[in-house]
């Protein structure tokens, strides 16, 4: 065997990820807020770009209908009675706000952390750590939804509850109204909401103050009959009628004082202290409405569709005035970058609309009849239908929202696994679990 240096000539092909290709992939996966921020930066740094202010017509140039149903507020809410206020000890006024009664730092004397729950301690950081890291309450709750619910039908219900909750953690919508909008049983909505009330922070997704405090006390195993009676008579507590409270609770003055002190250690607005700034409302990327022929019409939401133009007239004038090689090279690079951005945004919009349309076609039963008609669906089916790679479909469905007559849903929530049945018909795994459960 001879050992020695030698030269070999080989020819091969390989896929190279250019910086522009990487940026295009990031744009495809990013949500509308991130894309809007990126476009604003490009408009500032590229003089050849300008905003396209022309209006975007709908698919049939007809009037756009509001795709979201108006859900009525729960008529039996205790919020008005309790007024979210409780008298503090001492000389606090009777109309003191909850913020004046409770510790403003949101902490508790008991070793439960802010939410009073430890179920997610191994998988998730504490609220304080997450808030310090810039993570929003909506993202924190969304991760817990993914960890808790394996049934996509339950995830759809949870996603709607998350979309409807206010920054303080309150819900103003009845289980019955939401169940009707989603086309599912009231029991399913109630069961999902009950599990979400135990998320971190504990006490979210409640309709009133009494329910919020009851959930936190139940987590601490402190919701005994006497405490429940106190919660049922918060109006007496607001009037400082201690004699009546001792009678309805069946306790003496010392026990009543301890119970009131324990209430004051709870968090009446568990979501209020999480975000440094109010979380922006979810704005859908695609709008869906029923067409005149009974089918579905989909259009991109013009409010979330950044559109830019290349000012070629300015480029031509600038090239005439460019005298050095560096100036001409700069203008050529800016023109190439502007053309790339316009093309990338157009491709992104077309891809989102194409994938959303195919998802709606597959899940037509859900949109017409309700959540029990959710079909089994995997990424590969959509990828084959739109002739794209599964990874592309996965990026498109991340952080993209569809506004439907049943609510706003993230596109990825419509994917579920299938169980083959006799005769070749596939059934949703979640539909099978639902039939076993009910």
- Residue predicted with more confidence, 8 or 101: 8
pLDDT recorded at residue 111 = 32
**Alpha carbons 273 and 319: distance in angstroms, whole number:** 54
- Number of H helices and E strands in the chain, helices first, is 20, 8
Judged against a pLDDT cut of 70, whether residue 95 lies above it is answered with no
203: left (phi over 0), alpha (psi -120 to 50) or beta: left
pLDDT recorded at residue 352 = 93
pLDDT recorded at residue 314 = 85
Are 132 and 260 found together in one domain? yes
pLDDT recorded at residue 349 = 92
Residue 267 · residue 86 · CB < 8 Å: no
Q: Give percent of the chain above pLDDT 70.
A: 73
Instruction: Taking residues 305-311, report their average pLDDT.
Output: 86
Are 211 and 303 found together in one domain? no
Question: Does residue 72 belong to any structural domain of this protein?
Answer: no
Judged against a pLDDT cut of 90, whether residue 116 lies above it is answered with no
Instruction: Taking residues 90-100, report their average pLDDT.
Output: 35
Question: Does residue 428 belong to any structural domain of this protein?
Answer: yes
pLDDT in tens, 316-371: 888 888 788 888 899 899 999 999 999 999 999 999 999 999 999 999 998 988 88
| ω into 142 cis (within 30 of 0) | no
Are 109 and 35 found together in one domain? no
pLDDT in tens, 78-93: 443 344 545 554 433 3
Are 136 and 254 found together in one domain? yes
Question: Does residue 378 belong to any structural domain of this protein?
Answer: yes
Band of residue 181 on the pLDDT scale cut at 50, 70, 90: confident
| CB-based contacts of 380, cutoff 8 Å, min separation 6 | 390
Cα 415 to Cα 109, 140, 197, 302, 363: the distances in Å are 43, 21, 25, 26, 10
Residue 96 · residue 252 · CB < 8 Å: no
Are 216 and 292 found together in one domain? no
**Alpha carbons 57 and 416: distance in angstroms, whole number:** 34
Are 205 and 228 found together in one domain? yes
Band of residue 58 on the pLDDT scale cut at 50, 70, 90: low
Question: Does residue 431 belong to any structural domain of this protein?
Answer: yes
Are 233 and 356 found together in one domain? no
Are 329 and 219 found together in one domain? no
pLDDT recorded at residue 118 = 35
Instruction: Taking residues 126-153, report their average pLDDT.
Output: 73
Q: Which of 264, 296, 326 is the last residue in one of the domains? A: 264
Are 319 and 344 found together in one domain? yes
Q: Give percent of the chain above pLDDT 90.
A: 24
Question: Does residue 288 belong to any structural domain of this protein?
Answer: yes
**Alpha carbons 32 and 402: distance in angstroms, whole number:** 12
Residue 87 · residue 245 · CB < 8 Å: no
Are 259 and 328 found together in one domain? no
Are 326 and 431 found together in one domain? yes
User: Which secondary-structure segment (H or E) carries 289?
Assistant: strand 286-290
pLDDT recorded at residue 287 = 94
**Alpha carbons 59 and 289: distance in angstroms, whole number:** 11
Residue 109 · residue 265 · CB < 8 Å: yes
**Alpha carbons 146 and 162: distance in angstroms, whole number:** 12
**Alpha carbons 416 and 428: distance in angstroms, whole number:** 7
Question: Does residue 8 belong to any structural domain of this protein?
Answer: no
49-51 and 426-428 beta bridge pairing: unpaired
pLDDT recorded at residue 100 = 35
Cα 168 to Cα 63, 172, 194, 276: the distances in Å are 35, 12, 17, 13
Question: Does residue 168 belong to any structural domain of this protein?
Answer: yes
Band of residue 286 on the pLDDT scale cut at 50, 70, 90: very high
pTM of this prediction exceeds 0.85: no
Domain with 234 in it: 79-264
pLDDT recorded at residue 57 = 54
**Alpha carbons 414 and 399: distance in angstroms, whole number:** 13
**Alpha carbons 97 and 218: distance in angstroms, whole number:** 24
pLDDT in tens, 66-75: 444 455 556 5
- Residue predicted with more confidence, 254 or 438: 254
Are 252 and 388 found together in one domain? no
Strand runs (DSSP E) across 73-121, as ranges? none
Query: What dihedral do alpha carbons 245, 250, 253, 257 form, nearest 10°?
Result: -70
Cα 111 to Cα 117, 182, 352, 433: the distances in Å are 9, 39, 46, 37
Please state the domain count of the chain: 2
Question: Does residue 311 belong to any structural domain of this protein?
Answer: yes
Of the candidate ranges 61-65, 308-312, 326-330, the one whose mean pLDDT is the lowest: 61-65
Mean pLDDT of the chain: 77
pLDDT recorded at residue 402 = 92
Choose the most confident range, by mean pLDDT, from 19-23, 103-107, 215-219.
215-219
**Alpha carbons 284 and 410: distance in angstroms, whole number:** 9
Place of tokens 């990487």: 22
- Residue predicted with more confidence, 1 or 161: 161
Instruction: Taking residues 236-253, report their average pLDDT.
Output: 90
**Alpha carbons 201 and 274: distance in angstroms, whole number:** 9
User: Which secondary-structure segment (H or E) carries 155?
Assistant: helix 152-164
């Amino acid at each position: 065997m001879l050992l020695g240096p030698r030269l070999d000539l080989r020819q091969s092909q390989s896929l190279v990820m250019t910086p522009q290709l990487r940026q295009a992939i990031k744009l495809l996966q990013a949500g509308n807020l991130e894309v809007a921020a990126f476009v604003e930066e490009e408009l500032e740094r590229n003089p050849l770009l300008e905003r396209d202010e022309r209006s975007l017509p709908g698919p049939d140039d007809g009037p756009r209908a509001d795709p979201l149903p108006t859900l009525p507020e729960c008529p039996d809410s205790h919020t008005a009675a309790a007024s979210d206020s409780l008298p503090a000890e001492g000389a606090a006024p009777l109309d003191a706000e909850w913020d004046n009664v409770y510790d403003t730092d949101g902490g508790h004397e008991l070793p439960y952390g802010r939410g009073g729950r430890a179920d997610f301690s191994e998988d998730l950081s504490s609220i304080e750590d997450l808030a310090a890291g810039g993570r929003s309450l909506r993202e924190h709750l969304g991760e817990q939804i993914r960890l808790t619910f394996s049934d996509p039908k339950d995830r759809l219900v949870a996603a709607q509850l998350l979309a409807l909750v206010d920054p303080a953690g309150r819900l103003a919508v009845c289980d019955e109204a939401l169940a009707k909008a989603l086309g599912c049983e009231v029991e399913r909505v109630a069961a999902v909401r009950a599990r979400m009330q135990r998320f971190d922070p504990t006490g979210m997704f409640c309709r009133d103050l009494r329910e919020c405090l009851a959930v936190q006390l139940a987590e601490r195993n402190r919701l005994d009959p006497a405490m429940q009676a106190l919660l049922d008579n918060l109006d007496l507590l607001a009037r400082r009628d201690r004699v009546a409270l001792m009678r309805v609770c069946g306790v003496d003055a010392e026990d009543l004082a301890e119970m009131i002190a324990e209430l004051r250690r709870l968090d009446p607005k568990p979501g209020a202290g999480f975000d440094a700034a109010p979380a922006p409302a979810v704005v859908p990327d695609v709008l869906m409405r029923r067409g005149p022929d009974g089918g579905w019409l989909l259009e991109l939401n013009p409010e979330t569709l950044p559109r830019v133009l290349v000012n070629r007239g300015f480029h031509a004038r600038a090239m005439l005035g460019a005298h050095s090689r560096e100036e001409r090279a700069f203008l050529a690079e800016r023109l190439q970058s502007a053309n790339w951005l316009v093309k990338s945004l157009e491709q992104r919009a077309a891809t989102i609309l194409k994938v959303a349309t195919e998802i709606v076609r597959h899940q037509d039963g859900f949109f017409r009849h309700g959540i029990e008609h959710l079909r089994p669906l995997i990424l590969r089916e959509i990828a084959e239908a739109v002739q794209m790679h599964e990874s592309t479909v996965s990026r498109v469905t991340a952080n993209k929202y569809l506004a439907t007559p049943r609510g706003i849903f993230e596109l990825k929530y419509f994917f579920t696994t299938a169980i083959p049945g006799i005769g070749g018909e596939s059934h949703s795994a979640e539909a099978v679990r639902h039939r076993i459960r009910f």
